[in-house]
Amino acid sequence: MTSTQQTPDILSAEFAADPYSAYRVMRDEFPLIWHEPMKSYIVSRYEDVERAFKDKDSAFTTDNYSWQIEPVHGRTILQLSGREHSVRRALVAPAFRGNALEEQFLPVIERNSRELIDAFRADGEADLVSQFATRFPVNVIADMLGLDKGDHEKFHGWYTSVIAFLGNLSQDPVVAEAGLRTRTEFAEYMIPIIQQRRDNLGDDLLSTLCAAEVDGTRMSDEDIKAFCSLLLAAGGETTDKAIASLFANLLQHPEQLAAVREDRTLIPRAFAETLRFTPPVHMIMRQTSSEVEVSGGLIPAGATVTCLIGAANRDDRRYAEPDTFDIFRDDLSSTSAFSAAADHLSFALGRHFCVGALLAKAEVEVGVNQLLDAMPDLALQDGFVPAETGVFTRGPQSVPVRFTPADRSGSAGAAQ
């Protein structure tokens, strides 16, 4: 049967304005696309993206990161495989789970959220993106690493430049140059701090990384710098957009917001559904080690494969009514949503599952709880409809809200 649809172009303005309509066409009619400008195959169905991430048959690798990520971060854990990967992951992962997360870093998360909220809770209005979501995860990471939060603008500028480099699908030379410059600037900033911290270990994450040892292996200054760069970019950009999108989704579904406000144990469900419905990262690349068959045809060995998370997470072959935001859906588990066994694909899967998933979950739970406590009648500004922007990463640029202001002593003021 001849298709009446035109193959969507992910570099087009139409795609950037509404990728979800294009995703539907891709899944149904063009599940495998060769995109000449990107020199990449594109897959969009859940089963194909899931397979690429789990990589049980060793057909999909992260070799693409040698040109996609290493130029701006240095060599990171994402590029490693086998024992080298397992040892490096064992060096960094303990800081992001269990007692270390609960006892050492949860107070840091709570303090940073409270400080940001206190700055606007008496105003009666705020933009949850610029005044909270954009600043919160970066401040948390800086505090965790024992860095100066006064350098927030530097951190934000660096990770914005890195994300732009990673999402530079059209190969804009200005964007590429800015990303490469970031690697040099970040190294000049971080390496002296790492060296000083090795001589004066404290109770921060950077000291933990300096002292960590597994099977006689320790991280070099360059290893630590690269991991910190990755942490700032991945932890900042993705959590920033996840928090903004979560509130945008809930505020546009008042009945679900009311349910979360009443029962805070629903926050993980709201976060998991946000990750599925409006993921902060819409595409991740892999590289094939051998010829592999997917929906729609064959991908040759050595090819770059663009895995469309944003499309796969709305595949009606996997989810009922996938274009509906529903925190109560029964085909998405919140129990496993922040583990390598997640039903959604927003943290990837398998051995390269996001090491910071539980940190992101903790930040979201704390931030949502504190915002709802401080602003129980939180609502969108009249007439405002949040709009997403971005292609590689995507989220609302602004979420302006109104609420009953607290008085300067911190208690709720009279309704305005």
Distance CA 386, CA 114 (A): 24
State pLDDT tens for residues 148-201. 988 988 988 898 898 889 888 888 999 999 999 999 999 999 999 999 999 999
Contacts of 119 (CB under 8 A, 6+ apart): 131
State pLDDT tens for residues 105-163. 899 999 999 999 999 999 999 999 999 999 999 999 999 899 998 898 898 889 889 88
State pLDDT tens for residues 54-87. 987 789 998 888 888 889 888 887 776 777 777 7
Compute CA distances 197 → 140, 208, 221, whole Å: 19, 10, 11
State pLDDT tens for residues 34-44. 999 999 999 99
State pLDDT tens for residues 263-315. 999 999 999 999 999 999 999 999 999 999 999 999 999 999 999 999 999 99
Is-contact 330 321, C-beta < 8 A?
no
DSSP string, 317-354: TTSSSTTS--TT-SSS-SSSTTSTT-SSSTT--GGGS-
Q: What is the pLDDT of residue 57?
A: 76
Q: Looking at 6-15, 48-57, 248-257, 405-414, which range is the least confident one? A: 405-414
Distance CA 135, CA 142 (A): 11
Task: Establish how many alpha carbons lie within 13 A of residue 205's alpha carbon, considering only the half-sphere containing its beta carbon.
Answer: 28
Distance CA 197, CA 5 (A): 58
State pLDDT tens for residues 350-398. 777 777 888 899 999 999 999 999 999 999 999 999 999 999 999 999 9
Q: Is the dihedral of CA 354, 360, 365, 371 positive or negative?
A: negative
Residue of 218 and 42 predicted with greater confidence: 42
Distance CA 66, CA 205 (A): 26
Q: Which of 351, 359, 309, 393 is nearest to 77 (CA)?
A: 351
Tell me the whole-structure pTM to 2 decimals. 0.91
Beta-bridge mates of residue 287:
61, 304
Which amino acid, residue 148?
Answer: D
Domains by residue range for the chain, with CATH: 13-402 (1.10.630.10)
Place 348 in a pLDDT band, splitting at 50, 70 and 90: confident
